[in-house]
Amino acid sequence: MSTAKCAAKFVTVLALAGVAFAAGESRKDLHFKVGKHPAISINNPYGPVVVKAGAPHEVIINAILHSDKVEIDQSQSHNRIDIISHLLQGADQYSGVVEYQVLVPADASLSIHSENGPVHAENLHGDLALEGGNGAMEVLNCGDGHVHVRTLNGPVTISNVRNGHVEVVSMSGDVSLTSVSGPYVAVNSNTGKIEYAGDFGGEGEYSFTSYAGNIEAVAPAYASIDVTARSSQGRVDSDFSLEPKHTPFYAKAGSYFSGTLGKAASSVKLMSFSGKIHLKKRQ
């Protein structure tokens, strides 16, 4: 390697180190000992929060603070841990960013509020409450606990979630549910699309409603459902040949369908004001 190339590399490394130093990025690692079913709350205005299942009785939080304009407030009271990204004077959406990587016991209950950053929760069995403004919300491989998601504009993806209540409220964020089943699954959207792909199992109650967003549900031929779909101003279609049933409302043809499939074990309601609704058969 020539001397010039070596010098260039050295200068580049120095420059990068200088940039990192100037940016004031710092790392903070937190460890907490907890008992069974701990409750963990994280409030992070800017930046991602990723939570995964780790060792029992231990909560490990790795945080990267993007500047000295934000600090982490932490408190533990018995089995409850509160983490807050505390914005200091002059913090903004760039300097206020904190990136969280969190390992919690699988049976932990989580409450996460993130104004802008994405939130990801995986392999957990406690209750999850996720709130956000614009960031994506993702829940994967969770079960046996309730999942509550509230978002303004961020997309919501929930996959492989079973045996719990799943409730999503969204203004304009699209909501996608894949292999989600349980005693109660409800999505309430304004303009965001609602997509469901699963078997409507668990003898549960499924309620997907939107104001202007389209609703698309894909179910297998063996699905056992009692389904009602209605859109006041949008088109409504079904790929299934349903056993017709009585509906407790008046609706014009093409804007609703109602009927049963199989033993009608689960109740499915697909309702929109002006969005399209399509119940598709999985190929």
Q: Given the rule CB under 8 A, which residues bind another protein?
A: 45, 87, 94, 113, 115, 131-133, 150, 152-153, 169, 171-172, 188, 190-191, 193, 207, 209, 211-212, 214, 228, 230, 232-235, 248-250, 254-255, 269, 271, 273-274, 276
Rounded to whole angstroms, how far apart are CA atoms 9 and 13? 6
Rounded to whole angstroms, how far apart are CA atoms 21 and 126? 39
CB of 105: closest distance to another protein in angstroms? 27
CB of 78: closest distance to another protein in angstroms? 25
CB of 109: closest distance to another protein in angstroms? 19
CB of 111: closest distance to another protein in angstroms? 12
**Torsion angles phi and psi, residue 25, rounded to 5:** -70, 140
Of 59 and 206, nearer to another protein (C-beta) is 206
Of 99 and 131, nearer to another protein (C-beta) is 131
CB of 209: closest distance to another protein in angstroms? 5
* SS3 assignment, position 114: strand
Whole-angstrom CA distances from 42 to 32, 101, 110, 169 are 14, 11, 8, 20
Q: Is 161 exposed, middle or buried (0-12, 13-18, 19+ CB in 10 A)?
A: buried
Of 53 and 151, nearer to another protein (C-beta) is 151
* Structural tokens at position 236: 């409504």
Of 46 and 200, nearer to another protein (C-beta) is 46
Rounded to whole angstroms, how far apart are CA atoms 176 and 195? 5
Rounded to whole angstroms, how far apart are CA atoms 215 and 229? 10
Instruction: Please report the beta strands in 97-254, taking only residues with DSSP state E, as ranges in sequence order.
Output: 98-104, 109-114, 119-122, 128-132, 137-143, 147-151, 156-162, 165-170, 175-180, 184-189, 194-197, 205-210, 215-219, 225-231, 236-238, 243-244
Of 58 and 82, nearer to another protein (C-beta) is 82
* SS3 assignment, position 236: strand
CB of 132: closest distance to another protein in angstroms? 8
Of 52 and 86, nearer to another protein (C-beta) is 86
